A = this chain, B = another copy of it.
Amino acid sequence: MSEIEAAVREIAEEMRVRPDRGAVATYIPELGRVDPGQFAIAVATKDGEVIAAGDCNTPFSIQSVSKVFTLTLALGMMGDVVWQRVGREPSGSPFNSIVQLEFEKGRPRNPFINAGAISVTDLILSKYQPREALGEILRFLQYLADDDAIYIDEAVAASEQRTGYSNRALANFMKAFGTVTGTVDYTLGVYFHHCAIAMTVRQLARAGSFLAHLGRDPVTGFSVVSAERARRINAVMLTCGHYDGSGEFAYRVGLPGKSGVGGGILAIAPGKASIAVWSPGLDASGNSHLGRIALEKLTQRMGWSVFGA
């Protein structure tokens, strides 16, 4: 058994029994029903292998982790023009803050806060019809994970459609400033649906692999993005991937990462591995409580921090 296998197995076992599990998000009612006892981890190595443990075959709602892939897609479609719409600075504010947006005239700080991701989705909609756009996003994830079983959880999407007032406020606010250009309801519809994509940690770790390997899929060798773009997406993940907990994640885990309110986190150890963890209970900043702890332990044990082995 390799060192990675041992680490993954032991961490999963440790996390399975820990009593502190955080609190499941309830602001999307459908997510509130998920059993907080679950934990899963998967590591996609540079050899293309996926080593996993825990509830690693259970699909979960990837939510904001999807923003990494819509950003990648939008950059592929229109290049750096994306950065005219959204910045790439940490926001210093919670994920749904509208204050900064007012001071900065409707231009979101970065593509990983909600406003920024809605803006990126709106940009994709400038090229596609809503249904097509959603198909593109889903197929992109299926392609990256090499698994057509990945699907959109319609119940979660519908749940957020009914209750996503903050996001509706953000989108209308940007529409008033002209930084959302499409029809607000369509943009939000696609946004809520791509956040509702369900994946297992196995699929997610595999889908993120290109970011760990200079933009190439380590299994097929196909280039997804250029090496420079992969580096840059990683940089934005590190500085902005955890809302106003980004500094803390960098401090403790030391890897680029993107969390979702469904309890998933995708983390990238450049040159080494793509890692997905999932545990539904969240900490005060809205990031997976056990997921973050598991990543901290794994990184430390494997010497994978980008800030020094």
A270 to B269, CA, bound (A): 14
Q: Are B165 and A232 in contact (CB under 8 A)?
A: no
Tell me whether A45 is interfacial, beta carbon within 8 Å: no
**Residue A119 interfacial (CB < 8 Å):** no
List of B residues within 8 angstroms of A169 by Cβ? 98, 168-173, 175-176
Residues in B neighbouring A92, C-beta threshold 8 A: 89-93, 100, 109
Residues of B within 8 A of A176 (CB): 165-166, 169
Q: Which residues of A, 121-146, contact B by the 8 Å Cβ criterion? A: none
Report if A307-B168 is in contact (Cβ < 8 Å); known contacts: A239-B247, A246-B89.
no
Q: Which of A153-176 contact B (CB under 8 A)?
A: 165-166, 168-173, 175-176
Complex Cα distance A1/B103, Å?
51
Chain-B contact segment, one of A17-25, A192-200, A250-258: A250-258
- Could you give 5 example pairs across A and B, Cβ below 8 Å? A90-B246, A165-B184, A235-B247, A239-B251, A306-B307
Given contacts A168-B169, A256-B307, 15 further A-B contacts (CB under 8 A): A88-B247, A89-B248, A90-B90, A98-B173, A99-B103, A165-B173, A165-B176, A166-B172, A232-B251, A232-B307, A235-B250, A236-B247, A238-B307, A270-B307, A271-B308
